[in-house]
Amino acid sequence: MMDRREFAALLGVAAFQHQHAALRKAPGDYRPQFFSKAEFDQVIGAAEAMLPGSKEAHVASHIDLVLTHSEARRQARFREELRAFAAEAGTVAERFERLAPAEASPRTAAEAFFATLKGLTLFAFYTSEQGLRGALGFQGNQVRASFPGCTA
């Protein structure tokens, strides 16, 4: 689980994400700073299985950036959880199905990985252009002349 300090750091990274030109490159051009190539590919696959469209939204690149600027303790914990998740039997979808019920109070590293990855994936996707404009239909700040009530 993420504590307040880690969440604040995540928000700080997200606020300055637009300054990182590396994230604007195509996914094939991005070179992970924190992850090894194998770890990065695992995160891409897991995030895409969790939330289709994550690959195009560069979610794994965002997670790599967040972890690059995280405390060493958090980095080590994420790597340990990723290894535990990878050691679980079955496809990514089958692992998620087994691990999801324990999300609220994970007892194993694999269960903790599921919870951590879900939070990072959702945050990265819904703060990306694909998430904001595509999935949520956000059109930017708009002035409304009136605020009609519920019509249903």
Amino acid 14: pLDDT: 55
Instruction: Give pLDDT, residue 84.
Output: 93
Looking at the structure of the chain, the number of domains it has is: 1
92 domain-assigned: yes
Residue 22 is classified by DSSP as G
Residue (of 86, 92, 39) closest to 67 by Cα position: 39
With a CB cutoff of 8 Å and minimum separation 6, the contacts of 61 are 22, 23, 27, 30, 32
Q: Does some domain include residue 139?
A: no
Establish if 152 belongs to a structural domain: no
Question: Is 4 or 107 the better-scoring residue by pLDDT?
Answer: 107
Q: Please state whether the predicted TM-score (pTM) of the whole model is above 0.85.
A: no
- Tell which wins on pLDDT, 6 or 38: 38
Mean pLDDT for the chain overall: 83
Residue 10 has pLDDT above 60, yes or no: no
111 CB-near residues (< 8 Å, 6+ apart): 99, 102, 103
Q: Is residue 142 in some structural domain?
A: no
Q: What digits encode the pLDDT tens for the residues 90-146?
A: 888 888 888 888 888 889 999 999 999 999 999 999 888 888 888 788 887 777 778
pLDDT attached to residue 27: 53
Is the confidence at residue 1, as pLDDT, over 80? no
**Residue 10 resides in a domain:** yes
Looking at residue 19, what is its pLDDT?
A: 44
143 belongs to a structural domain = no
In which domain, by residue range, is 112 found?
Answer: 4-133
